[in-house]
């Protein structure tokens, strides 16, 4: 269900915060957030196995799933760079520029839905989209499967990952394997997680002040919970609509639902590892955390944050950077005489 921040919520958010003190800030934080769990979460209808993880990792790095033989999942969601691509908007087939900034893949398994507008219900459904999008990988399900079947090693890997399937190598199973690998890309044990688990010294005094401000000003209304976002949809520009350059002419979720009230509504992005994922917002037009925090204060909360307040909040946000997944780049199967050749048009 979509949430719109109302005047009442704003009033609550701008009300006086509890007096600063380690335990009181920690107690309030523990009511508003949860630490990222260790381990791989369960996926409904898609059991996690070692064989699926290994196959999914290979497919995630496999550029031959694209028509050009160049664009892989990692091309836009680089696991060594915070899970995104350091571009305003994604670059795809034929060097086309996509309409939106690439969201991070890290901790994406904890989002209620995928993409800025939530058009994919889970990571499995999301994995099918870029393969077929003309501005991204520009392939077809038939083309992707033809490529994979041309390499005997993939045929065997699909059999091992989906042993009960009469026809293991399918587009659906390709997406299921990618989903399982992406579910391993979580970042537990940030200093903020340690604080949430009761380690008061994990955050210094200024970082705790930044956390207190984050809750006091109302940021937590959209960026609370396990993933500090990703749990609901919100209007962008509740109090003051940002400049058109930042909005980018994007109507948000309305493009999916065709409901007028969903105009300029987006899924709130996760703020975890946020220092690693510039530029910010769906348009990618804001390159610094300081500017992003200042803009959100005015646009969403009607708060004119001081330079000191912005600095404290940014300092806190940097404590959410967790343990990055260590991924060994896979050796992919060799192409064969029947593997489709790249098409670069």
Q: What are the tens digits of pLDDT across the range 48-90?
A: 999 999 999 999 999 999 999 999 999 999 999 999 999 999 9
Q: Which of 54, 113, 26 minimizes the C-alpha distance to 328?
A: 54
CA dihedral 225, 231, 237, 240 (to 10 degrees): -20
Q: Taking the alpha carbons of 250, 255, 260, 266 in that order, is the dihedral positive or negative?
A: negative
How far is Cα 224 from Cα 192, in angstroms, rounded to an integer?
Answer: 13
What is the DSSP secondary structure assignment for residue 312, as one 8-state letter? H
Of 297, 310, 313, the C-alpha closest to 242 is 297
pLDDT for the residue numbered 23:
79
Question: 62, 136, 179, 309: which one is catalytic?
Answer: 136
Tens-digit pLDDT string for the chain (345 aa): 334 333 333 333 333 334 444 479 999 999 999 999 999 999 999 999 999 999 999 999 999 999 999 999 999 999 999 999 999 999 999 999 999 999 999 999 999 999 999 999 999 999 999 999 999 999 999 999 999 999 999 999 999 999 999 999 999 999 999 999 999 999 999 999 999 999 999 999 999 999 999 999 999 999 999 999 999 999 999 999 999 999 999 999 999 999 999 999 999 999 999 999 999 999 999 999 999 999 999 999 999 999 999 999 999 999 999 999 999 999 999 999 999 999 998
3-state secondary structure of 294: helix
Give 267's strand partners.
233
Report helix, strand or coil for 291: helix
Q: Which two tokens stand for residue 235?
A: 């209007």
Of 222, 183, 49, residue with least CA distance to 105: 183
Annotation says 136 is catalytic: yes
252 forms beta bridges with 265
3-class secondary-structure state, position 84: strand
Model-level pTM? 0.92
Whole-number pLDDT of residue 20: 45
| Residue 270: both structure tokens together | 């996760």
């Amino acid at each position: 269900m979509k949430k719109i921040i109302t005047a009442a919520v704003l009033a609550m958010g701008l009300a006086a915060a509890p007096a600063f003190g380690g335990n009181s800030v920690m107690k309030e934080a523990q009511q508003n957030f949860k630490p990222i769990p260790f381990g791989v979460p369960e996926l409904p209808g898609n059991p996690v196995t070692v064989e699926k993880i290994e196959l999914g990792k290979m497919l995630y790095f496999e550029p031959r799933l694209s028509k050009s033989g160049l664009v892989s999942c990692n091309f836009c969601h680089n696991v060594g760079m915070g899970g995104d691509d350091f571009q305003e908007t994604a670059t795809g087939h034929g060097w086309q520029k996509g309409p939106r900034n690439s969201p991070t893949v890290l901790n994406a398994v904890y989002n209620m839905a995928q993409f800025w507008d939530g058009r994919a219900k889970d990571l499995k459904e999301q994995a099918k989209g870029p393969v077929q999008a003309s501005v991204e990988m520009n392939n077809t399900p038939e083309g992707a499967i033809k490529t994979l079947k041309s390499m005997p090693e993939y045929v065997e890997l699909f059999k091992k990952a989906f042993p009960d399937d009469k026809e293991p190598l399918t587009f659906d199973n390709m997406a299921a394997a990618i989903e399982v690998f992406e579910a391993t890309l979580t970042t537990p044990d940030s200093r903020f997680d340690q604080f949430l688990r009761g380690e008061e010294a994990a955050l210094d005094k200024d970082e705790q002040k930044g956390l207190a401000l984050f809750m006091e000003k109302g940021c937590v209304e959209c960026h609370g919970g396990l993933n500090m976002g990703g749990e609901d949809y919100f209007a962008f520009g509740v109090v003051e609509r940002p400049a058109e350059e930042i909005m980018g002419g994007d109507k948000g979720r309305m493009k999916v639902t065709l409901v007028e009230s969903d105009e300029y509504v987006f899924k709130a992005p996760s703020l975890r590892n946020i220092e690693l994922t510039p530029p910010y917002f769906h348009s990618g037009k804001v390159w610094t955390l300081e500017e992003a925090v200042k803009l959100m204060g005015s646009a969403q909360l009607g708060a004119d944050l001081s330079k000191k307040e912005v600095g404290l909040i940014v300092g806190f946000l940097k404590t959410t950077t967790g343990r990055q997944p260590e991924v060994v780049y896979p050796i992919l199967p060799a192409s064969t005489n029947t593997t489709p050749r790249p098409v670069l048009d």
